[in-house]
Amino acid sequence: MGEPIIRIGIIGCADIARKVSCAIALATNAKLHAVGSRALDKAQNFAVANSFPHVKIYRSYEAVLDDPDVDAVYVPLSASLHVHWAVLAAHCPEEETFAAREAGGFQYR
């Protein structure tokens, strides 16, 4: 049995998200599973422009975090929002996120 595939959600469609999504597409153990934006058309355009026809599209960041099939979340938002969304991602209804588990938890002020 092979390595499990990590299903990644991206919250936000900043230019860096395009670059990271291309790297995810090249990974053998990961796939882009969901993209969320505050504007649905922005998330849809992101998926089309970056050739992700089967990715789930969400109208909010919270919807990506609530998707039970998302294993890890990438946060390409402005630096001032990183802690807020990382904390929310780590407290998703499902088990704690893959990244928080692997890092042994996280700390913030």
Map out the domains of the chain as residue ranges. 6-102
CATH of 6-102, one of 3.40.50.720, 1.10.10.60, 3.40.640.10, 3.40.309.10: 3.40.50.720
- The pLDDT value recorded for residue 54 is 92
- Chain segment 56-83, per-residue pLDDT in tens: 999 999 999 999 999 999 988 888 887 8
Residue 84 pLDDT level (bands cut at 50, 70, 90)? confident
What is the average pLDDT across 31-50? Answer: 93
Q: Exposure of 9 by Cβ count < 10 A (0-12 exposed, 13-18 middle, 19+ buried)?
A: buried
Residue 33 has pLDDT above 80, yes or no: yes
Give me the percent of the chain exceeding a pLDDT of 90.
Answer: 53
Of 33, 25, 29, residue with least CA distance to 8: 33
- The pLDDT value recorded for residue 108 is 38
